[in-house]
A and B are shown apart, each in its own frame.
Chain A
Amino acid sequence: MEDSAAAPDDVLRLGGRDLRSRLFIGTGKFGSDALIPDVARASGAGVITVALRRVDRSLRGGDVLARIPADMQLLPNTSGARTAAEAVRIARLARAAGCGDWIKIEVISDTRNLLPDGYETARATEILAKEGFVVLPYMSPDLYVARSLAGAGAAAVMPLGAPIGSNRGLATKELIAILIAEIPLPVIVDAGIGRPSHACEAMEMGAAACLVNTAIATARQPVAMARAFGLAVAAGRLAFLAGPGRVLRDGARASSPEEDSLTGFLPLEERQA
């Protein structure tokens, strides 16, 4: 994509990098890894996640890493880990295998719903952050877990919008809004985003970025969908920066820009009466 940044000076600073696009993409579920370079280009994304368990550099032409554009930030993930110890080992393996210092922690021990285990994730985060990793933990949008992760040295938190692969969108919207308001780290919405409009909405809310994999990889035309997501994320970000009006639950309200100061002419004592 030409320029996926919403505004010229708007960058997401993460792990010592300035990211112009706030879309992160994945490498799983594609019918062919050969699509990855085109998807990456069309999306404009600067960060791409890859499951270390899928990496096999000894395969002829089958190495997913070889498909990733060199200028993208690689974000290996610990998919397959069921405990903190396993996630830590996979992260160290990723570093040893030349995948860099960024790590997305996924600790999942429920194969029915694929929900992340917050306690184990926090333990792994603490260990890896101390070892100098840029730790991006995948989590359920729980305020207390998010605080633990922040305290443990996470570089961002990655709450799920809906169960992984469900394409249900921002089913956890209210909880994500709380994280955005309370957690002093970038909040990157990960999982569940099924359509560009979902990603756009997350960005309008003030999310720092979105990670989208299934919705792109399983679209009929993944490259076109990648571009749609890139645009949607940029649009949502631009809207957030532009300061959207409040959404009212009941009835309408005058749209006059003076609405907040309608009684501003009164002396303070009278306003409080």
Chain B
Amino acid sequence: MTALQDGFFPRLARSEALLGLLEQAQALDVRRSLAADRLDERDFLILLSPAAEPFLEETAQRAREETIRHFGRTVQLFTPLYLANVCTNRCVYCGFNARRGVARRVLTLEQVAEEAEAIAATGLRRILALTGDAPARTGADYLAACVEVLARRFTSVGIEVPSMTVEEYSRVREAGADGMTMFQETYNETLYSSLHPAGPKRNFAFRLDAPQRAILGGMRSINLGALLGLDDWRRDIFFTGLHADFLQRRYPEQEISVSLPRLRPCGALSRSPEELAFTPRPVQDRHFVQALVALRCFLPQAGITLSTRESASLRDRLIPLGVTRVSAGVSTAVGGHAAEESKENGASQFDISDPRSVDEMVAAIEALGYQPVFTDWLLPGRDDLPPGIRAALGQDNFYYSDFR
């Protein structure tokens, strides 16, 4: 479990020296950075600085223009599927924290299939499977088995699970997953230790290298993020962008995208002393927007995901500024799609702010003059055909090998 020789850490350490720019940047620097053809890391940092705040509208204009040029007026839809919430970590900000007295569940493969059925019925074709961190119960074997079930229903299956080894990623990839999401939570190593007092997740470097190991294991699309509200947002967004840039340059064939998860409350039950000692650093809306548009200008080709952690009205306004993927019909409870009761038993990872169904989300996106995209992905390495094509052929069991 040592750090990768050619991982992101050296770049992270080197770029810390630039952080002084956040305070030093002047209006003139912001103008110059905004006019740059392609932003470098200094320009990016300048757009994240307090000096850039008066230029939010200009930055937003550029972000919108870049987004339309590269993605058009389209937004992908996906939904998370919580497979399990058993967890051995004690992340002080999380509702699945090992010390929380919440009901724990691990879906059986039959239940996974039921969830998949319920989600697919809404028209969604892209799914993100999540678990807590409990290697003995929900490790790579369990995950691969679940992914195999999901891959029959969805054209794209992503995973958001604890850091794994290259071999484990490769196994899950073979089972049919094509994407991996990993939130570093914070790129501040000292803070990271205090927020993760126990459990396998304590290993900062192993998590930092996880996206790269996933690529080495064959994962095709990688999604990064920092949980905004833990450290200074400017700093964590800066390193998120650099991390994405690092991976994009090193693995240009991979699809690298970023998320902007903002810390949400996660129930008020039974907080432990270490949870009570945690003080969030809330991110105001205008700063959240600044983070989004700066990321878009720095990474014009990267997908940007916005989850239901944000409210419906804010999400609708942010789509034109650079968001290319949104979740819809979300439940953060295990088994929350097929069974009504799990929606109400309180065992969710965090409280969502946008409860809109897939149909409602579709209508909202269309009202903005944007097109909701359910599928834009074929996994040519997989043997069975995507459901949409299968329907075209009127055949249920049609395999690539049939016409090889």
User: Do A92 and B403 touch across chains, with their CB atoms under 8 A apart?
Assistant: yes
- A218 interfacial contact with B, CB 8 Å: yes
User: Do A111 and B69 touch across chains, with their CB atoms under 8 A apart?
Assistant: no
- A13 interfacial contact with B, CB 8 Å: no
Which B358-403 residues have a C-beta within 8 angstroms of A?
366, 369-371, 373-378, 380-381, 385-393, 398, 400, 403
Q: Which residues of chain A have C-beta atoms less than 8 A from B374's C-beta?
A: 56, 59, 62
> Which one of B248, B256, B392 has the greatest number of beta carbons of chain A within 10 Å?
B392
Q: Which of A30-38, A39-47, A250-258 contacts B (4 or more CB under 8 A)?
A: A30-38
Q: Which residues of chain B have C-beta atoms less than 8 A from A57's C-beta?
A: 388-389, 391-392
- A217 interfacial contact with B, CB 8 Å: yes
Q: What size tier do the contact residues of chain B reach?
A: 35 or more
- B342 interfacial contact with A, CB 8 Å: no
Q: Which residues of chain B have C-beta atoms less than 8 A from A82's C-beta?
A: 253
Once the chains are docked, how many angstroms separate the CA of A54 from the CA of B373? Answer: 8
- B275 interfacial contact with A, CB 8 Å: no
Closest B-chain residue to A215, C-beta based? B69
Return the contact of A85 from the options B73, B380, B386, B393 (Cβ within 8 A).
B380
Q: Which residues of chain A have C-beta atoms less than 8 A from B203's C-beta?
A: none
Return the contact of B375 from the options A53, A85, A89 (Cβ within 8 A).
A53
Return the contact of A30 from the options B72, B249, B400, B404 (Cβ within 8 A).
B72
Closest B-chain residue to A55, C-beta based? B388
B242, chain A: closest CB distance, angstroms: 15
User: Do A97 and B389 touch across chains, with their CB atoms under 8 A apart?
Assistant: yes
Q: Which residues of chain A have C-beta atoms less than 8 A from B392's C-beta?
A: 55, 57-58, 97-98
User: Do A111 and B255 touch across chains, with their CB atoms under 8 A apart?
Assistant: yes
User: Do B371 and A30 touch across chains, with their CB atoms under 8 A apart?
Assistant: yes
Q: Chain A's interface: helix, strand, loop or mixed, by majority?
A: loop
- A90 interfacial contact with B, CB 8 Å: yes
Closest B-chain residue to A108, C-beta based? B253
> Which one of A58, A110, A114 has the greatest number of beta carbons of chain B within 10 Å?
A58
User: Do A53 and B72 touch across chains, with their CB atoms under 8 A apart?
Assistant: no
> Which one of A89, A214, A217 has the greatest number of beta carbons of chain B within 10 Å?
A89
Closest B-chain residue to A92, C-beta based? B403
B182, chain A: closest CB distance, angstroms: 18
Q: Which residues of chain B have C-beta atoms less than 8 A from A217's C-beta?
A: 72-73
Once the chains are docked, how many angstroms separate the CA of A165 from the CA of B403? Answer: 34
Which A81-104 residues have a C-beta within 8 angstroms of B?
81-82, 85-86, 89-90, 92-93, 96-98
Return the contact of B371 from the options A31, A86, A98, A165 (Cβ within 8 A).
A31
- B254 interfacial contact with A, CB 8 Å: yes
User: Do A111 and B254 touch across chains, with their CB atoms under 8 A apart?
Assistant: yes
A69, chain B: closest CB distance, angstroms: 19
B221, chain A: closest CB distance, angstroms: 10
User: Do B72 and A80 touch across chains, with their CB atoms under 8 A apart?
Assistant: no
Q: Using an 8 Å CB-CB cutoff, how does the interface string of B219-251 with A read, 1 for contact, 0 for none?
A: 000000000000000000000000000001100
User: Do B123 and A31 touch across chains, with their CB atoms under 8 A apart?
Assistant: no
Closest A-chain residue to B69, C-beta based? A165
Beyond A30-B73, A56-B388, A114-B301, 18 additional pairs, beta carbon < 8 A? A29-B68, A32-B73, A56-B125, A56-B155, A56-B374, A59-B375, A62-B123, A82-B253, A86-B380, A90-B378, A96-B393, A97-B393, A109-B253, A110-B253, A165-B69, A165-B70, A214-B72, A218-B68
27 contacts between A and B (CB under 8 A): A28-B74, A29-B68, A29-B72, A29-B73, A30-B74, A31-B72, A32-B371, A51-B376, A52-B389, A53-B378, A54-B375, A55-B388, A55-B392, A62-B374, A63-B388, A86-B380, A86-B381, A92-B400, A93-B378, A97-B393, A111-B248, A111-B301, A112-B248, A112-B252, A166-B69, A167-B69, A217-B73
Residues of A within 8 A of B (CB): 28-33, 51-60, 62-63, 80-82, 85-86, 89-90, 92-93, 96-98, 109-114, 165-167, 214, 217-218
